[in-house]
Structure 1
Amino acid sequence: MAGRPPLRIGQHGKITRTDLGSGVWLARCRFRDRDGVTRIVERRTPTGSTDKYGDKAEAALVAALDGRRPPTADVSASTLVVDLMKDHVARLREAGELSPVSIDVYERAVLVARPRMAGLKVSDLDPALLHDLLAGIRQAHGDRERAVRAVLNAVLTRAVMAKAIDTNPMRELGRTRRKSEGPKGAPALDPTEVLRAYKRVRTSAYCRRADLRDPVLTLIGTGVRRSEVLGMRWSDIDLDHATANISGRVVRIKGDGLVWLPATKSGAPGRTVPLPAFVVAALRARRTSRISDTWVFPSTSGGLRDPDNFNKQWRRARGLFDLDQVTSHSWRKTLATVIDDAGLSARIGADQLGHARPSMTQDVYWKRGSVHTEVAAAIDKIVR
């Protein structure tokens, strides 16, 4: 004979009422708690009440059961995916755990996805449909597809936890990117190309007029990020000891414009990097004619310099120099190559470039935050 079917989590069995006399009743039932254990739960008529049929005892029991159930899910199979995505970004912003720049990236991802998913419900999504949607976004918007993937994965995981769907179709979809035939992004330069670029930047009339010479020389000599170079303050520079404290960066945030964030891209509070002799010489000369007491590389008005405008000016310059493929990020890859070719360790490279970690082992057991003058010497050797 088949046994009694098990209760679902948060479900109760039949409620029984027992008259205890004098207007007091006992209501009880079986209830399966969140730990999976089925228990007997009971409540009596509240003190001071007269309960003719036991309905007050049962009402007290039902209220107690409601308090033991998991929170009511705010996601169902009919919830619109776009609404979930917008809510996810709003939650991230409210939590304050991500940088404003990252939040803006996710907001743009929602804007990109919205026209293609306007009427889609959580239950509509399957791996095949997601594959086609993401392929279209990748073709139209390139790398923005990565942020769309991240948001979709988060909201569909939330839907699984709310039992709106059984599985996350993003997990079934997996990675569909084509393998590249070579390294992605900006190329690294060999020593001959570095020396040629260095000489052209240093002697270019356009770089001097556009105030590109000194910041580009600093990029070449340190390998720090463009936003970090433009975020350098004079208080961060120690020319006597030939070091710079990379303590913040310049970014554009929706609704706020250009702002200086007191943290590097990896989220670290800052790092100190050595300055090659050619960068020290450029900064010494610059300090005598500075137009800002705060910023090393300000805008023409003395305020924060826009990284996007800087990039446009550099694109024009590299076109003049026949360096079309050399972006501001190329100098980071170039310095990483210099560090490797000089026989320096991956930890030194991580300290110089501001990477969070080359590996877990190195993070745990190797000392961080050292100033490695060997890096400045290696790049100095090339330009000499």
Structure 2
Amino acid sequence: MTGEGGDMDYAALLTKLIRFSIGLTLVVIVLGAYTRISDAGLGCPDWPGCYGQLSVPMKNAEIVRASSLFPEHIIEPHKAWLEMIHRYVAGSLGLLIAAILAVSVKVPNLPKFWPSILVLLVVFQAALGMWTVTLKLMPIIVVLHLLGGFALLSLLMVFYLVSRPYCEEHDESRTSALNPEKNLSHQRLLWATSLQKMSWIALSVLIVQIFLGGWTSSNYAALVCTSFPLCEGEWWRALNISGALTIFQHPLLMNGDSFEFGVLDYGSRVTIHLLHRFGAIITAVTLLVFSWRLIRYQLLNQSHRLLNRSAYLLIGLVMLQVGLGIANVVMHLPVILAVGHNLVAALLLLNVVFICTHLRLSYRIKERTRSAQIESRDTQMRMVTKSSRFIEK
């Protein structure tokens, strides 16, 4: 595993760091969801500390000091600890991303674009975390913070796949999923092109649905409809599209209070909730059709066994997510199921990003190989022609 100058040591370390970062990002997403769903987003009214210190005030003197600094807040230690644990873990992830950038510099020829983007995204995420608190849970900031975590997870997966040729030995067992076949048919190349385009459609639809889910949660619209498949009563009379799409809600604040527990009217929340439900149907159908096409692709290309497994995993995750969504409505949003809904959404995105990146890398290899094959045939034909002319002379 050790190359010249110990380069492979850095490469192996980088691979481990990226894998660990992906797992830690999932933990941060789960902790963020648990904090938000437990109404602990303002457990600490300041940032980056908590009531003016780096930990939750627990001693009598600390509580008295915190009360004097923030007289308008009721100190709830359990909510404050949820918020601070989330911050501690997120801070650890930020340090880990910085370490990834530092180690990436030591790996020869590895593009530095991806680790640099990861560091910038972490800095922006920290700013969003601060604004989430200072702007009192403004929904658009909360959603952007959520999307930032999902984006970080996605980019880590992309960087992991992109960095593999630089960080792993090029033996057949490790790179078989990306190796093109020796004889590429035009039909397979066309199918791969079509599949790649559909993968981007599936990814786009999933991102929109994740936004709708975050918008539903941040506007406290998850419990506005407690019946299934539609809201109770004459819900269609209450629909308010313009209210549901109100991004900046400062004028709706009463008495200068926070956005906690929402400020939109009933009709706007019903609309948001139903948009998320209808979006779930569209997303589920899109992902299932995409999975079916992935599985059919195996009939043409047996080398992509990893994609085949990813397709079946995608079907399972879609079914699980639909079940969790229905259970959250029927059971009035139990915390454990709501957190699980967020986790499965992250796993869905991770799986789709993995498939998209794999298809993209594989397609580029196939394209280059096909071009090389055509060029080789042309070269051979020219050599044969020259030989024939020489013999004739």
TM-score range, shorter chain: under 0.3
Task: Name the structure, 1 or 2, with higher relative contact order (CA <8 Å, separation 6+).
Answer: 2
Give the structure with the larger strand fraction.
1
Give the structure with the larger helix fraction.
2
Q: Which has the larger radius of gyration?
A: 1
TM-score under structure 1 length normalisation: 0.20
